[in-house]
Structure 1
Amino acid sequence: METVRPQATTQSRVLEAVKASGSYRCETGAEQKAALKLNAKGLIRRDSKDGFLWYDPDAAAKAAQAGEGGDGGSGAPDTGADRLPQPVETTEIVVRRHDASDLLATVERARRLLDDGDVIAARMLASAAYDQAKLAAQYGERFKAAEKLVGKARALQADALLIETRAKIKIAREWDAAQEAGTGSKGGRPKTVPDGNSFTAADTGLSRKEIHEARKLAAAEERVPGIVERAIQARIEAGLEPSRANLRAAVGTASATKEERGDNLYQTPAEAMHTLLALEKFSSLVLECACGRGAISGRLEEAGYTVSLADLVDYGTADRFGECQRVEDFLTSETLPERPDIVTNPPYGALLNRFIAHALKVHRPRKMALLLNLNFLCGFDDDDRNFAMDENPPARIWVFKRRLPMMHRDGWDGPEAQSRMNTAWFVWELDEAEGYGNATEIRRVDWKDFMPETMAEAAE
């Protein structure tokens, strides 16, 4: 078994990573402290715009003298952030520089370190290579460099991500083994291991949150060996960026395990529906394509709408006429002849972006209202998310300024918790030109303002 070697100081690891690749992002508090000490010694310098990015001043000076980059005298590496769009030829030089032998050598060195068992150093080098390759690919896309060059940068990014992920998994496993053996510090003072032979999360180069995420990746690999590599390769084959965020989504490392999530059914609270129905009007026929046990469709029917029911799972849910739901995968569904509006609380997790993009591309409803985490406003790594929010933006977003009651998993019989999720109704609506427009109106609402009197009194 490869062994994590905590005896190397954080300072030496940070310095080695900076010298090896020219720059390094210090993500943890321990790394930042080490970087500040190295900075005080004049060994590394901080980027003027990114406080987490540190670089080798000697390498930057040599590059500036050779005309290979620099910022015209500050010594910071040229990230291109202040430059006007460049001709394709200049951009391709930038991409080649990031994609050249030095970056390839860094990836290969990280691979060798991982094979040799120095997983901490391997993770740090792979992380630096990932950031550089990501930047190269972004440059190429932004300035329309040759597709071959962008593909090369993405391939290097994929290699670095795979090495980084494997190193993180090994670190997490060694950390857990040390915890079980009593040689890993659980934090606090004094140290839990009195002889001083313990090592902390900071010694591994990962934060406790990163160790937790690495554990979930390790669990996914144990369940389905090779899933990490296949997920990364699938992004490359699809011509998409192999990012850390997409890897987590593809592998399925959400907070709850698949067994815990079950069918991913979270019943929509009545408070959300009372608010929506007070603010929006729909066509007479509405499609509820993730109907669950009828939390949304029941409120729609009470308001006078006819609801077409469907779900991936057969819950036996029926409409007011006694017709049972269809059992179908919405991701492969075709629009109904009546082209109904859509109102649903879609499945969160890895399928969410595809679910919404499919609704907009294939069904193209006149109006669609989805109850979503407010975080859906953010994100740029997923093409389906960008399609739904940038190319076909919602007309309105009704943000709940007071959090909705907790949506517990179907069958949950544990203690009732308070919700920590900020949610909103995202409403897409076709305009006269049969498009979804190019602007979004955001309004804040309080669901308590739309409650029926009996429910409002019960909530007091």
Structure 2
Amino acid sequence: MGSNSIKVLGASNHAKSKREENDFYATEPKATILLMEKEKFNNVILEPACGQGHMSEVLKSYNYNVLSSDLIDRGYGIQKDFFDYNKWAGDIITNPPYKIALPFLKHALNIINTGSKVALFLRLLFLEGIERGKFFKEFPPKKVYVSSARLNCAKNGDFKTYSKSTAMAFAWFVWEKNFKENTIIDWI
């Protein structure tokens, strides 16, 4: 099938430029504010893909104690690989690198205590996929907050260049360790 066929079918990848090598797409602060209006978290939060601190700064403004880290030193937080954390006594809130979002989630649920939460800002299409579908049956998210309006992520944290609305739909996925009931879907 040629590219013209793909255009006729209405499919496209919407990418006008090459993806950032380490999947650094900063979260628009408004997205974290919307989550804070819906969910309460433990006082201690780990933000393990903090980038330049866009999400961490919002969390701090809501009086959470936030440990911010990232695999890459971007001038904010400490430089540490998330997979080097063995235990975390609090909640985890982040926008993980999408290409490793499922391993990120599995590790997060493994290192937190029962009843603690993991909130991930992800593309809505994270709901799709055979491997994720199997995982969701065993570890369902407690809530999924779908954004009614488009929220943005900025490549390399450059909101001046990437401030326009995109075709991507985002949602907050919230897990509570050992939650086994039906997922609630809500809108922000």
Is contact 1:391–1:438 with CA below 8 Å preserved after alignment? Answer: no
Name the structure 2 match of 1:359.
108
* Mapping of residues 302-451 of structure 1, within 5 Å: 302-317=61-76, 325-336=77-88, 339-349=89-99, 351-364=100-113, 366-380=116-130, 382=131, 385-386=132-133, 388-404=135-151, 406-410=152-156, 412=158, 414=161, 416-430=163-177, 435-445=178-188
Residues 415, 331 of structure 1: CA spacing in aligned structure 2 closer, same or farther, 3 A cutoff?
closer
User: 2:2 aligned to 207, 215, 218, which one?
Assistant: 207
Distance 1:389 1:272 in 2: 23
CA displacement at 1:361 relative to structure 2 = 2.6
Name the structure 2 match of 1:99.
none
- Could you state the TM-score of these two structures normalised by the residue count of structure 2? 0.83
Name the structure 1 match of 2:24.
265
Distance 2:25 2:83 in 1: 19
Calculate the aligned-residue CA RMSD, in Å: 2.5
Residues 414, 400 of structure 1: CA spacing in aligned structure 2 closer, same or farther, 3 A cutoff?
closer
Residues 343, 379 of structure 1: CA spacing in aligned structure 2 closer, same or farther, 3 A cutoff?
same
Name the structure 2 match of 1:173.
none
Q: Deviations over 1:14-58 (max 9, x none)?
A: xxxxxxxxxxxxxxxxxxxxxxxxxxxxxxxxxxxxxxxxxxxxx
Is contact 1:397–1:426 with CA below 8 Å preserved after alignment? Answer: yes
Q: Secondary structure at the match of 1:262?
A: coil
Which structure ranks higher in relative contact order (CA pairs < 8 Å, sequence separation ≥ 6)? 2
Residues 390, 298 of structure 1: CA spacing in aligned structure 2 closer, same or farther, 3 A cutoff?
same
Residues 344, 416 of structure 1: CA spacing in aligned structure 2 closer, same or farther, 3 A cutoff?
closer
Distance 1:411 1:371 in 2: 15
Residues 422, 415 of structure 1: CA spacing in aligned structure 2 closer, same or farther, 3 A cutoff?
closer
Distance 2:138 2:124 in 1: 19
Q: Secondary structure at the match of 1:354?
A: helix
Amino acid at match of 2:101: L
Name the structure 2 match of 1:277.
36
Is contact 2:46–2:67 with CA below 8 Å preserved after alignment? Answer: yes
Is contact 2:24–2:157 with CA below 8 Å preserved after alignment? Answer: no
Distance 1:333 1:302 in 2: 25
Q: Percent identity?
A: 34
Distance 2:117 2:5 in 1: 40
Amino acid at match of 2:39: E
Is contact 1:334–1:363 with CA below 8 Å preserved after alignment? Answer: no
- Could you state the TM-score of these two structures normalised by the residue count of structure 1? 0.36
Q: Secondary structure at the match of 1:335?
A: coil
CA displacement at 1:438 relative to structure 2 = 3.2
Amino acid at match of 1:262: E
CA displacement at 1:387 relative to structure 2 = 5.4
Q: Deviations over 1:138-179 (max 9, x none)?
A: xxxxxxxxxxxxxxxxxxxxxxxxxxxxxxxxxxxxxxxxxx
Q: Secondary structure at the match of 2:179?
A: coil
Indicate the structure with greater helix content. Answer: 1
Amino acid at match of 1:326: I
Is contact 1:403–1:421 with CA below 8 Å preserved after alignment? Answer: yes
Larger Rg belongs to? 1
Number of equivalences: 179
Is contact 1:266–1:408 with CA below 8 Å preserved after alignment? Answer: yes
Name the structure 2 match of 1:228.
none
Indicate the structure with greater strand content. Answer: 2
Name the structure 2 match of 1:119.
none
Unaligned runs of at least 5 residues, structure 1: 1-205, 212-253, 318-324, 446-460
Residues 291, 388 of structure 1: CA spacing in aligned structure 2 closer, same or farther, 3 A cutoff?
farther
Distance 2:122 2:50 in 1: 15
Q: Secondary structure at the match of 2:125?
A: helix
